Structure 1
Amino acid sequence: MTEKRPDPNGRVLVVAGSDSGGGAGIQADIKAIMATGGYAMTAITAITVQDTTGVHDVHPVPLNTVRGQMAVCLKDIGADAIKTGMLATADLVELVAETLDERARDVPRIVDPVMVATSGDRLIDERAVDALMSLLIPGTALLTPNAPEAEVLSGKSVDGVNGQRRAAEALLNRGAKGVLVKGGHIPGRVITDVLQTEHGEWLLESERIVTTSTHGTGCTLASAIASLIAQGQPIDAAVEQARDYLHGAIQHAKGFGSGHGPVDHGWTLQTDVER
């Protein structure tokens, strides 16, 4: 008798760069997806020489290799969500968009428009921003810019909730189905994230944690959201749960490194005694 296999779900293909320090990029993506119950596959777009103090060098992966990684994962395992991160050049954005249109057109995309690292290092060129706007943002299930990224993408000033709302509206008008404009870069005791979709708006608040352990928070949040969407959660619930997960990861950070340290991606896997 043939054993009945469970219906697959929770499969996330991440297309992003690698962080040798383990706090951001593909490494953070894998950890966050696993910690929130999903299954991570990867298409690595660049290898960075990186630690908590900054990005010291970047080595792009050949475009055909990026395409190949995506193609074999999608053909063999399939995906319930796609998450994109560091896409540094217009040629890479074009390739990723073309491959997804060919092989995963109906799979929800969570696009994290990684432009600048926490250390301040620029990670994407101007032509790539234009390609992102024209090729990846239209039709994306959720776009997750921080305030500076939202300003670049929308052309709106983002210095508070009203600016976040205007930027989200502008990006919805550019074709995104959902936009989460994060408020971590906006000063204040309380961080407010603005989520807008075709179906409504949510203002999500949390107390700011005073810490230097914030490396990879954007990657971590977007991947946790992608994992939860891949498991069948609606966008608003996925965003809320992913924010709670990230908040705990920041709280439990171990203080590694001499710069912007990583969060503790595995805090949900620890026992109550260890916590």
Structure 2
Amino acid sequence: MTQDGAPLAPGLYIVATPIGNLGDITIRAAATLAQVETIACEDTRVTGKLLKHLGIAKPLWRYDDHSAPKDRERLIEAMRSKPVALVSDAGMPLVSDPGYRLVIDAKEAGIPVTALPGANAPLTALALSGLPNDRFLFAGFLPNKEKARLDMLEELAPVRTTLIFFETAPRLGKSLAAIAAVMPEREVAVARELTKFYEECRSGTSAELLAHYTANPPKGEIVLLVGPPGEGSETDPAHADAMLQDLLKTEKASKAVAQVAKATGMDRKALYARAMELKGA
């Protein structure tokens, strides 16, 4: 029932679920899941555990990245006459999951769509990190391939906001290494196992965090945050020198200069001349 006691109207209900601690389900979300006719979910086992915790039994229809168009059509047809919930395995649906296509089709079909807010991993990690939060950019997952990963980071490097990414434990080292190559001076935070017993939010440079997690391989779901470029870093010669000296230990001068120019906005020709001076020192 709704707040005024009326039954739920037919349509799509986007319901946020806990990102770890089952106690983070909202009262409204629990009530809605108890009243809908069907629940579309990524993994029926994961959603089944949540429903068992809530004492709710409902038909579960799998809807994930591998679902065929007919699965979406089936859900759209059900929404015409019944209330249907959409949940993800954790957090707010549509954040790096396939739900957006279902919402688009529902709107095109004239079906009412209601969103119920709740737990959210990027915002929880941002709050824990201590990084600037007046402006931030959520960029989903970094690409799997090294060049594409570096290209994305170089594209985002000049943006003066805290950057937020999803990451997996096996790929964390590669992503930290890429950040170290493109933005070595930035403060980085790794938030993992959010809201769970082993919750951790560790901050430092990308190099420091890479060393830590190489020695202590991480587990669990991860949110990776990168602080914005520091004020005045573009015109600070000492700052540029420190970056160049660090990169010249492992990179060719041209590559080191390209990375420093991208991170600071400084002139490449001037940086290259300075790199030659440092190499000759």
Which bin holds the TM-score, normalised by the shorter protein?
Answer: under 0.3
Indicate the structure whose relative CO is greater, using CA pairs within 8 Å and at least 6 residues apart.
Answer: 1
- How does the TM-score come out when normalised to structure 2? 0.26
Higher CA-based Rg? 2
